Amino acid sequence: MSIILQLSSTQIPKTRRRLHSLLLYQLSTIGAKLWGKEIRRQTSIRPMSVLCLALCLLFWNCAQKTDQASNPPPGTPVRDFPDTPVGNMVNNHVGTLVAVGEDAEAKYQASLQQLRSQIPEVVKVIHEAYLKMDTSRYFRRWALVETLRELHSDSTLPILIQIASSLIPPEKWSDPETSSRDKESHIRVTAVEGIADLAQRGNRSAEQALARFFNHEDLSVRRQAIRGYLSSGQDFRERADYLQKTLPEKDHWLINLDLTNVKRVPHPDIPEDLSAGEAKKRASTPRIKQ
């Protein structure tokens, strides 16, 4: 019992610890009675069952605490780009893309400007890196497509079409609340946004390419293609009429260029005061290594 008590006191937090103190008290009482043969044979089944159940519950909770994490592989960035001036430029850029701080956006925009000064080489480096990249690196792949989109260059069109047209692979994850198909969708939606951007800049091939995605299996891709097409010219009404005739009726609600204003959507009524209290320094707070 003392071993169990020691386990529980060090490894079971808060509410559970309180509940388990009570449980352990009950347990030790029953255990002592059993050990001392104070319980008659005919009545021993019930306390034994309770004891077993309680022990199972206790150890189940303790087992939850025994997870261990170890063997950190070095978290050093993987080298996706050649060790050339342009390769290094792209490598630095994907870093600025996720940066944080007051100057994060300014540095990101400056990096984009730098890339735009050497578009042919940059596009080549990004395309090669994308093709050889492990497909499970969803965010990096998206970051490369986002960079292509931001170049606003006609030379990116074939690559964007290729990426947007690629089939979305079957689901690989098992989390009900997020999926690998979501991440694959993000990549293709961004590619379609890039195509739409070129179409808005007058690239007729890009405008025609958008039509390929009007019936895409993925709603987010379809929506982006439709919006891109609608915004590619001044003749919105004609384009909308064309889409009304072309698209299945279930998708007619997508034929618009409206963006929803987040201020106008229903919001929850957040109570004014649900204070969790202000931060207090606790003895158990982890300390930074000196």
Partner 1 sequence: MKSRMTLLACLFLVVFAAIVIAATCYYQPGDNNDSGDNFYGGFICSQAYIDQFWDHFDFDRGDWDDGFGYDDPCNVNQPLARTFNALYLLAYSAEDYAKRTSDFSGNALRWGYPYSATMIDELDGRCGSGNKNSGARATTYWGFWVDDRTVLQWPFFYGENVVERAGTIVHEARHASDKSHNGGSGCPRGASCDTDWNYHGANMYQVLYLWWFHVEGTRTTSAMRNYARLEGQRIIDTGFNTNPGYTI
Tell which positions 125-184 bind partner 1, by CB under 8 A: 136-137, 139-140, 142-143, 146, 150, 172-180, 182
Which amino acid appears at position 162 of this protein? Q
Task: Tell the smallest beta-carbon distance from residue 205 to partner 1 (Å).
Answer: 24
| Window of 9-17, 122-130, 152-160, 196-204 that interacts with partner 1 by CB under 8 A | 9-17
Nearer to partner 1, 25 or 59 (CB): 59
Among 82, 108, 165, 200, binds partner 1 (CB under 8 A): 108
Say how many Å lie between the first and final Cα of the chain, rounded. Answer: 39
Size of the site for partner 1 (CB under 8 A): 106
43 belongs to the binding site for partner 1 (CB under 8 A): no
Among 127, 185, 195, 225, binds partner 1 (CB under 8 A): 185
Strands (E), 115-175: none
Per-residue contact string for residues 203-242; x = within reach of partner 1 by CB under 8 A: ----------------xx--x---x---------------
Task: Tell the smallest beta-carbon distance from residue 281 to partner 1 (Å).
Answer: 5
CA distance 225 to 236: 14
CB-facing half-sphere around the CA of 26: CA atoms within 13 A: 15
Among 175, 281, 196, 275, smallest CA distance to 239 is for 196
Footprint (CB under 8 A) of partner 1, residues 260-289: 260, 262, 265-268, 270-282, 284-289
| Window of 6-14, 123-131, 162-170, 202-210 that interacts with partner 1 by CB under 8 A | 6-14
Among 115, 190, 197, 198, binds partner 1 (CB under 8 A): 190
Task: Tell the smallest beta-carbon distance from residue 150 to partner 1 (Å).
Answer: 8
* Pair of tokens at residue 283: 């003895």
Task: Tell the smallest beta-carbon distance from residue 234 to partner 1 (Å).
Answer: 21
Footprint (CB under 8 A) of partner 1, residues 51-90: 51-52, 55-56, 58-60, 62-75, 77-78
CA distance 169 to 181: 7
Among 105, 235, 238, 241, binds partner 1 (CB under 8 A): 105
Say if residues 116 and 88 touch (Cβ distance below 8 Å): no
User: Any idea what the Cα angle at residue 248 is, between residues 245 and 249, rounded to 5°?
Assistant: 90
36 belongs to the binding site for partner 1 (CB under 8 A): no
* Pair of tokens at residue 8: 């529980």
Angle between helices 180-200 and 138-151 (to 10 degrees): 0
Task: Tell the smallest beta-carbon distance from residue 204 to partner 1 (Å).
Answer: 26
User: What SS3 class is residue 122?
Assistant: helix
User: What SS3 class is residue 133?
Assistant: coil
Say if residues 24 and 58 touch (Cβ distance below 8 Å): yes
* Pair of tokens at residue 39: 């319980």
In the numeric block, the tokens 């034994």 are attached to 48
